[in-house]
Structure 1
Amino acid sequence: MPSERSPHIREAYGVVSLSSRHPELRRLKSQQDEPSIHGNKLWGACYLLMDYLTERPLERGCKVLDLGCGWGLGAIYCAKTFGARVTALDADPAVFPFLHLLARHNGVEITEQVKSFDQLSSDELAEYDVIIGADICFWDELAEEVQKVIDLAVNAGVGQIILTDPQRPPFNEMADYCVDTHYAELFQVEVNTPRRFTGSALVIENR
């Protein structure tokens, strides 16, 4: 069931998150291995993604893949807001206890998948209507892998790909490639809730 309000619960875009002082989150951190690929907190690009989707909503019940999900706030938003069937994918299994904790507080269920980007196949990507990702190009090597996933997804017929980022250089380079190759659009996004974040949304419409 969704959470009751407490000083350590925050809400933005209809999704609740837990502050670092929330008892359940503190307990989980003490019991679980520390995520190793920067999946140790919520990142601002998740809110950029939610803001973009608030203005341009997904079709209800669509099938969504959240790449490099981390704690999965983007996945949770899609499930809660659009009734989407969401698979959250990350190479680090240590992120999923945190994702499921937040999912429980939001009253949704998310399917988890432990896999790296380079393990994804065209046939697997073809199962999804939408691919999302937030702040997943923080290394040059990751941006190259994301670019290859996008190539596969476009060729597989995925209808929509939406990635948000605080405009890190690896993302910007990958975005330029997508604009040139896949006719992607790049939108500037700024949010002030739960605090100020700025960045870009890279959007590929493939339908």
Structure 2
Amino acid sequence: MAAKKARNTASKSDEKHLHLLHGVYLPKAQHKEIRRFKRLYEEPSLHGTKVWRSSAVLMDYLLENPIRKRAKVLEVGCGWGGLSCFMAKQFDARVTAVDADGALAPYVEFVKSLNSVKKVEFVTKRFEKITKKDLQGVHTLIGSEICFWDEMTKPLFNLIKRARNAGVKNILIADPGRTPFLNLVDLCDEKFDAEMLGHTIKKPWKTEKYILKVSG
């Protein structure tokens, strides 16, 4: 336990290589632990190695439009798990952090340790492999910049359909407005109670992104 605390303290001491977003510490690529992981482990793929600005926008939106406390949350395309840790810290949520890239596991565990978060579980799965059973009891499904290729639109739409059928009440996906995402918005608007919202933040970056909101 003492060794773990010492490592956590040492990791936070590299403050110049940390973002602080809404109370959540997120490492930059230059952080010494991230550099160490890159030497020790397989390099993550699928763009899961960045702090996306859309995540910061979605965090800000959720602070203004909070979910209920201690809800069950599923994040798809979790990357390093920053958004999942935010949900656990801010809302005391029980979070399943899902990504297709299993090489992200040590990174998620590191971000959890940086933030003293325990209620986040990492699972390796593709969108199309997330079943109705996996979605049972989930209150909110979230994702950030997860629809950047054309071939992602249909699997994500089908996932949203399964989520609604499983009783998920709240689906929120943030994006800068790429064409595959806009196509997903159109599909959801035709079939579900869905809308696209613009949301702007000024800190730590001045940026506007879009949020697909689908209500169950």
Q: Secondary structure at the match of 1:7?
A: helix
Say if 2:69 is the partner of 1:66.
Answer: no
Aligned length: 206
Taking the TM superposition and a 5 Å limit, the aligned residue runs for 1:4-153 are 4=12, 6-109=15-118, 110-153=120-163
Instruction: Calculate the TM-score normalised by the size of structure 1.
Output: 0.94
Once the 2 structures are TM-superposed, how far is the Cα of residue 51 of structure 1 from its aligned partner? Answer: 1.1
Deviation at 1:23, TM superposition (A): 1.3
Looking at structure 2, the residues matched to 97 and 42 of structure 1 have their Cα atoms a distance apart, in angstroms, of 16
Q: Which residue of 2 aligns with 1:168?
A: 178
CA RMSD between the two structures: 1.5
* 2:165 aligned partner: 155
The 3 A distance-change label for structure 1 pair 29 and 193 is farther
| 1:180 corresponding residue in structure 2 | 190
Structure 1 unaligned regions, length at least 5: none
Amino acid at match of 2:213: V
Distance 2:27 2:134 in 1: 32
SS at match of 1:163: strand
How many angstroms apart in 2 are the aligned matches of 1:10 and 1:140?
A: 31
Whether contact under 8 Å (1:34, 1:40) holds in the other structure is no
> Alignment identity in percent?
36
The TM-score normalised by the length of structure 2 is 0.90
Separation in 2, partners of 1:19, 1:114 = 23
Shift of residue 192, structure 1, vs aligned partner: 2.7
User: How many angstroms apart in 2 are the aligned matches of 1:9 and 1:152?
Assistant: 37
Structure with more relative contact order (C-alpha pairs < 8 Å, separation 6 or more): 1
Give the Cα separation in 2 of the matches to 1:143 and 1:70.
18
Looking at secondary structure, tell me which structure has more helix per residue.
Answer: 2
- Structure 2: unaligned runs, 5 residues or longer: none
